[in-house]
Amino acid sequence: MTTTTDPQFETLLEFLRDNRGFDFTGYKRSTLMRRVEKRMAEVEVEDFGGYQTFLEAHPGEFTALFNTILINVTGFWRDPDAWSVLVRDHVPALVGGEEADWPIRVWSAGCASGEETYTLAMVFAEALGPERFKERVKIYATDVDEEALAQARAATYGERAMEGMPPELRDRYFEPSQGAYSFRPDLRRQVIFGRHDLVRDAPISHLDLLVSRNALMYFNAETQARILTRFHFALKDGGVLFLGKAEMMRSHGDLFTPADLKARIFSKVSRSTRRDRLLAMAQPGRAEANERVTRQLRIRDAALDVQPNAQLVVDANGVLVTASAQARALFGLGPADVGRALQDLTLSYRPLELRSRIEQVYAERRPLHLTNVDYPVLEGAMRTFDVFLAPLMDREDTHLGVSVSFVDVSTVQQVRAQLLETNQELETAFEELQSTNEELETTNEELQSTIEELETTNEELQSSNEELETMNEELQSTNEELETINGEIQRRTGELNEINDYMTAILTSLRSAVVVLDRDSDIRVWSRKAEELWGLRADEAVGEAFQNLDIGLPVERLKAPIKACVEGRSDYEETVISAVNRRGRAIQCQVSCTPFAGADREIRGAVLVMHARGEGEGEAEGS
């Protein structure tokens, strides 16, 4: 299935590269998007643009995202059959015999938390013995994940990590430490850990063995090719490359040849240079060698002159070393110009600025192709060139200079225009075919990587199970606390009910009606006698404003006494008001008002005590 590029996702990758130095643009989009979407689901963000905003607002999320993308699945002696092949068939040749004393350099690329790095240390310590191991072996271990590197530097692992370790090796190379195991400090000094990006950083060189197990699988085909080219440069001739079981490397036979395909062990394919061939020809004797080298240089210059294209060579110091006959004629160069600094020649800036392009070639370490460069050769005449700049390097990958070729394309511009449409159609068909092929390769790689993901999922499930067990214990403890709190609430509820019953009994036993108001004059207590006096039930009165009651008592006349008590201006107010009881009989109602204060002496309202007297008093009270 073809994965459609999401512009927001590409913007997110650029954001990660520019703000955190992690360049994931070379990773396979299907796998990368799946891992980012997993993290987005955990933080409940729906789209990539929203997730970028979330990252900007929550810097700590970067760590969680990188841990999700960079799945550090590793272990001691992982894939033991492959390790057995390496130990049996290749390590003896790398270490040599008893008299060998050359240094052995090993790179563990994508080392994660360090288990495979220390496995390499044990392999060479077993082959050489601890003392010779410390004298001859240096292991470089790199990764882009700083947290994983910190764990690797600590060199301490728990019981679970040591499960695949043979007991005799564990006892020989690890020391018990507080329920865990630490790698021997004297051997640990031969291992150097550091952060390294396989895509962006220069490789470690002059290696005898390079171990990169299941790191390439996260990159697309183009990025894999660049990394493998760097691996080829990093290894010595005859060096060994040890990959993971999910990495096939089917199309790089010019770089590596399989030594044991099942174990994913490869040998570097050596590339001879012109310098090597010339030196090989110069073996019979020094004089004869010089003569042959001189002859070869003359042949080279003659071959350069008969080329149909203008070509010149600039060395690493910016000096024009040679120029073909076509180049000398085209740019008006004489014999005196060869050997001069390029910056002193008109050629350095016309027909194009060459020095900045040469610096670009040095910086990027790859050829540069410029098209449709116009150059006026005669008055009113214009020629168009394609310019090719290619770095010249020796076998140690050191820059010797740059070759610059000018290909005259003036006569083919019209033909190009006519063929452009047809060419585009062919390119489209080729891209579709190539895309189909890449999809098939991607599908196969994803199927192979599923095993790795399943292993990771198993680890996550085990971790989740442990967390659930911990949560269950916490829930049991919480339940016990809730039961204790519930018992306390029931006891206090019983006490409160008892107090309420006691208060109700007191209010019922009083001959007078009692009404309790809060500071806003809303009714909080309406006694049984108040119900009998005014004919209004407690459930109808409680919560209502006292001034809004529709009863036989003219409540407006009590507004001033109540306010005086609530505001603390009076400790006692008493008044007699003509009223009508619930039976419609006229009475004289004696109303006393006192402040209602709490234990902290803060006034919280007022208490009204109402007593009917005068004509019809006995009947009102007895009703």
pLDDT tens-digit readout, 491-536: 888 888 887 777 777 777 777 899 999 989 899 999 989 888 998 8
pLDDT at 292: 61
Answer whether residue 573 shows pLDDT above 60.
Answer: yes
Q: List Cβ neighbours of 54 (8 Å cut-off, separation of 6 or more).
A: 43, 45, 61
Tokens found for residue 145: 């994940």
- At 324-363, the pLDDT tens digits run 888 888 888 877 788 888 888 888 888 888 988 898 888 8
Q: Cβ distance 247 to 217 under 8 Å?
A: yes
Edge-to-edge, what's the strand order for the sheet holding 381-393?
320-323, 310-315, 399-408, 381-393, 368-378
Whether the per-residue pLDDT at 305 is higher than 80: the answer is no
CB 596 within 8 A of CB 516: yes
Q: Decide if pLDDT at 400 tops 60.
A: yes
pLDDT at res. 277: 42
Cβ 259 vs Cβ 249: under 8 Å: no
Range with top average pLDDT, 97-101, 153-157, 474-478: 153-157
CA distance 361 to 316: 11
The residue with tokens 């619930």 is 582
Q: Kind of pairing, strands 235-243 and 265-268?
A: antiparallel
For strands 207-212 and 235-243, give the pairing: parallel
- Position 122 confidence tier, pLDDT thresholds 50, 70, 90: very high
Nearest to 390 by CA among 409, 369, 408, 372: 369
DSSP 222-282: HHHHHHHHHHHHHEEEEEEEEE-TT----S-TTTEEEEETTTTEEEEPP---HHHHHHHHT
Give residue 422's pLDDT. Answer: 66
Quote the Cα angle for 457-463-468, to 5°. Answer: 120
Whole-angstrom distance, CA of residue 235 vs CA of residue 252: 15
The rounded distance, in Å, linking the Cα atoms of 265 and 257 is 9
pLDDT of residue 552: 87
Higher pLDDT, 518 or 222: 518
Among residues of the chain, what percentage have pLDDT more than 70? 87
Average pLDDT over residues 573-593: 91
Structure tokens at 428: 């489209």
Cα 206 to the center of its chain, rounded Å: 32
Length of the chain: 623
For each of the domains in the chain, give its residue range(s) and CATH number, in order of start.
7-69 (1.10.155), 80-263 (3.40.50.150), 307-408 (3.30.450.20), 510-622 (3.30.450.20)
| CA dist., res. 4 & res. 28, Å (int) | 12
The DSSP output letter for 545 is: B
**pLDDT at residue number 274:** 42
Q: Is 283 a residue whose pLDDT tops 50?
A: no
Tokens standing for residue 68: 């999700």
**Mean pLDDT value of segment 272-294:** 46
pLDDT-based confidence at 284, cuts 50/70/90?
very low
- State mean pLDDT over 140-156: 91
H-helix segments, 405-558: 413-509, 528-534, 538-541
Question: What pLDDT score does 515 carry?
Answer: 92
What does the mean pLDDT of the chain come to? 83
The model's pLDDT over 202-212, given as tens digits with 9 standing for 90+, comes to 788 899 999 99
The number of beta carbons lying within 10 Å of the beta carbon of residue 601 is: 7
Residue 272 has pLDDT above 80, yes or no: no
**Residue 162 tokens, joined:** 């040591």
How far is the C-alpha of 192 from the C-alpha of 561, rounded, in Å? Answer: 89
Task: Give the CA distances from residue 615 to residues 440, 589, 612, in Å, rounded to whole numbers and listed in that order.
Answer: 109, 11, 9
- pLDDT value of residue 273: 42
What pLDDT is recorded for position 163? 85
Q: Which of 65-79, 128-142, 600-614 has the lowest mean pLDDT?
A: 65-79
Q: Which of 104-108, 277-281, 484-488, 522-526 has the least mean pLDDT?
A: 277-281
Q: Give which of 298, 335, 342 is closest to 320, Cα–Cα.
A: 342
Handedness of CA 508, 510, 512, 518 (dihedral sign): negative
Q: What is the DSSP letter of 399?
A: E
Give mean pLDDT, residues 38-67. Answer: 87
Any idea what the Cα angle at residue 534 is, between residues 531 and 540, rounded to 5°? 55
Closest CA to 270 of 236, 242, 243, 229: 236
């992982």: which residue's tokens?
78
Q: Are 114 and 123 in contact (CB under 8 A)?
A: no
The secondary structure of 43-70 as a DSSP string is TT--SHHHHHHHHHH-TTHHHHHHHHHS
Q: To which residue do tokens 């006393």 refer?
A: 592
Tokens 């060419």 -> residue: 423
Task: Give the pLDDT of residue 348.
Answer: 85
Which of the pair, 417 or 233, is modelled with greater confidence? 233
Q: Kindly tell me if the per-residue pLDDT of 90 is higher than 90.
A: yes
Kindly report the backbone phi and psi dihedral angles of residue 498, in degrees, each rounded to the nearest multiple of 5, phi listed first.
Answer: -65, -40
pLDDT value at residue 622: 39
pLDDT at 170 over 60: yes
Model confidence at 297, pLDDT cuts 50, 70, 90, reads low
What values do phi and psi take at 552, rounded to 5?
-75, 0
**Mean pLDDT within 225-242:** 90
Contact 206, 105 (CB under 8 A): yes
Q: What is the pLDDT of residues 428-459, one digit of tens each?
A: 778 888 888 888 888 888 887 788 788 778 88
Q: 50 or 220, which is more confident?
A: 50
Considering only residues 257 and 277, tell me which one the structure prediction assigns the higher pLDDT. 257
